[in-house]
Amino acid sequence: MSIINATNIQRKFGEGNLTTHVLKGINMTVEEGEFVAIMGKSGAGKSTLMYQLSVLDEPTEGEININGTNVIQLTEKEKTEFRLNTLGYVFQNYALVPDLSAEENVMLPLLMRGYDWTKAKATACTAIDGVGLEGKYANLPAELSGGEQQRISIARAVAGKPKILFADEPTANLDTVSGTQVIALIAQVNKKENQTIVMVTHEREYAMGCDRIFHMEDGVIVSIEQLT
Amino acid sequence: MRSLRIGLLLGFRQIQRANFWTTTLIIFVMMLTFLNLIAVSGILVGLIAGSERAVQEKSLGDIIITPLTNEEEILQTETIRRILDTIPEVTSYSIRYQQGVQIAANYKTRRDFNIEPNVIGTRAVGIDPGAENTVTGLSENVVEGEYLDPNESGYILIGALNLDRYTAGFADITGSLEDVYPGDSVRATINGASREFTVKGIVNAKAGGVASFVYLPEKELRRLSNSASRDANEIAIRLEDKNIETANTVKAVLVNQGIDSFARVRTFQEALPKFITDIKQTFNILGTFIGAVGIIVASITIFIIIFINAISRRQQIGILKGIGIDRRAIEVAYVLQSAFYALTGSLLGALVTYGILIGYFDRNPIDFPFSDGILVAEPMGTLYRFLILFVITLFAGFVPAWIIVKQNTLNSILGRK
């Protein structure tokens, strides 16, 4: 059963002669529990596609259905709620709130979902334990390494058990060892929790654990590589 | 409610982790704004309050009885005196007699009759020195020589504004006596009758006409003016409490006793010279204007601080929105910071005002020509001004947060314009 269904996604920037056509009619589906990667050269449009699929941006044309909801028709407020309850994000720059401890960063979306403080704290600690950072609950992001910050970012993304996890080049700022650990963690989440994962990456070695790879070039999907 | 909870968490942590010196500086600015709002206008009002207080303490008393509009004297003065003796709130009163008087000095040493005599016209106030001193503390205003002794006769006190050395610059307009010191002789003339007095002391005070008059025992004044009437021109009354509520209560008692048929009864506030109430109103307006400028400066300061803070965290704000944090939660975080700055700054400002400045100015009033300025900061007025500052600060914190938060989420995350 497909959890993401995108039809004829087009994204243009600018107006008139200065218009840039970044996505040129993308059609794609992602099945529930699937781990897919979007790959392509710089400027191919892979991040732009992920922003459309993850409801952070709105396509110029086309339709996106996620978990049975036509997200194009949602208001800004509804999109925020949808992102909170259905989607999880891992950004390449970790995107942690610097003033909050690791534990509080993970608790933040849980509290927003309506968890009480105690339940949010317990869930956050479990998620942090799950990414192998036991005992780092009270550390501020500045007190963690890049790899550790990205793992906290993953804990934040998965703690509320979202339907889909979007990861935008999660290894871009990490060394090889940390990058491998992060990818292994994401794959583990996919296997253990049967969570749908959409990941944008440059590096093929990190995409090898995926079910499928969407290869993009110049705003279109040129091939779909089935790995499993 | 969820947004509020998240906003409070974000805001509290931002304050907690902020740079100590930056936070201190912002709070210091807010404290100065509060002081500008409360203390500057308080000093302006205090100039007049000091003048009012001086007039009440040194001239009018808490209640003043004067002649009816078409009368020159208070009718039935003895009856009024007996009534005053029966009112428990009245601790003392001073019955005053007044006459226009001509005072001449240096007449014994005047050799050249082509030169103008050293003469001034003023008002002579006949008093019971003991009673007057109890009501107004006149003896404390003697700046040279001594106060009148009730058992002596032939002595006079001269108000400093009648003397050349105290009125430098004004002497040509008002006329003044030259080289008159305690121990010198002066000649007082009322309705053609003259008598020589020895100057016992010089009186000076920044209140009403205290320093404009000359003072002598009432018996000597009535003898000089050849008046058999016992009806006085003023009765200044001192009460147990100096507040206006007590004055109003006692005034009502006096009116109930029918005194208003013989004389005009006024509280010190009603009897204040009109120029004082006019200046008070003007200074109030001026104080409000200065306060308003202070509030505008404070709100702009807070706006800039929050704007810079929010814009430097634009990407973080975008990410928070991206992961599903409601924009209201982010706005609450910034409003909380503004509230923290306003509350802490105002609290410190209030501590400085009530803990230091009011006491300091009470002990060391500002020496103005017409009054000793104090700092007036009524708690209710302070609360009112604080609330205005607080609300405007919250607004000044909210607007920049709102501007940044409403921007497109993805543009914020990517740092695009």
CA distance linking residue B197 with residue B185, whole number of Å: 6
In this structure, are residues A216 and A40 in contact, taking their beta carbons and an 8 Å threshold? yes
Q: What is the pLDDT at residue B82?
A: 92
- Which residue stretches of chain A are H helix? 46-53, 76-86, 102-113, 117-130, 146-159, 176-193, 204-207
Q: Which residue of B has its CA nearest to A80?
A: B324
pLDDT band at B208 (very low <50, low <70, confident <90, very high): low
Residue A210 has pLDDT above 70, yes or no: yes
Mean per-residue pLDDT over chain B, rounded? 86
A74 touches chain B (CB under 8 A): no
Q: Is the dihedral of CA A131, A133, A139, A143 positive or negative?
A: negative
Instruction: Read off the pTM.
Output: 0.70
DSSP B40: I
A108:B14 CB<8 A: no
Instruction: List chain B residues with CB under 8 Å of A57.
Output: 410
| Beta strand A196-200 pairing with A164-168 | parallel
Q: Residue A87: closest CA among chain B residues belongs to which residue?
A: B323
The dihedral through the CA atoms of B350, B351, B357, B358 has a sign that is positive
Q: B292 CB contacts (<8 Å, ≥6 apart)?
A: none
pLDDT in tens, B104-144: 887 777 666 666 778 888 999 999 999 999 999 999 999 99
Does the structure show a pLDDT above 70 at B169? no
Q: Report angle CA A14, A79, B9 to the nearest 5 degrees.
A: 110
User: CB distance A156–B410 less than 8 Å?
Assistant: no
Tens digit of each residue's pLDDT (9 = 90 or more) over B359-381: 898 888 888 776 777 888 888 88
- A4-62 tens-digit pLDDT: 999 999 998 888 878 888 888 889 999 888 999 999 888 888 889 999 998 988 899 99
pLDDT in the model for residue A158? 83
Give the closest of B16, B326, B413 to A112, CB-based.
B326
Band (A160; pLDDT cuts 50, 70, 90): confident
Question: Is residue B30 within 8 Å of B346, Cβ to Cβ?
Answer: yes
CA angle A78, A84, A85 (to 5 degrees): 90
Q: B362: part of which helix (H) or strand (E)?
A: helix B358-363
pLDDT tens by residue, B250-277: 999 999 988 888 899 999 888 887 877 7
In 3D space, the residue among B272, B300, B348, B275 whose CA is nearest the CA of residue B39 turns out to be B348
Query: Closest to B324 (Cβ–Cβ): which among A84, A95, A98?
Result: A84
Euclidean distance between CA atoms B230 and B96, whole angstroms: 10
- One-letter amino acid identity for B403? I
**A114-143 residues touching B, CB cutoff 8 A:** 114, 140
**Are B38 and B227 in contact, with CB atoms under 8 Å apart?**
no
Q: Check pLDDT > 90 for residue B95.
A: yes
Nearest to B322 by CA among B403, B407, B398: B407
Greatest alpha-carbon span in chain B = 104
- Which residue type does B112 have? D
For tokens 């007049």, the residue is: B48
CA–CA gap between residue A150 and residue A184 (Å, rounded): 12
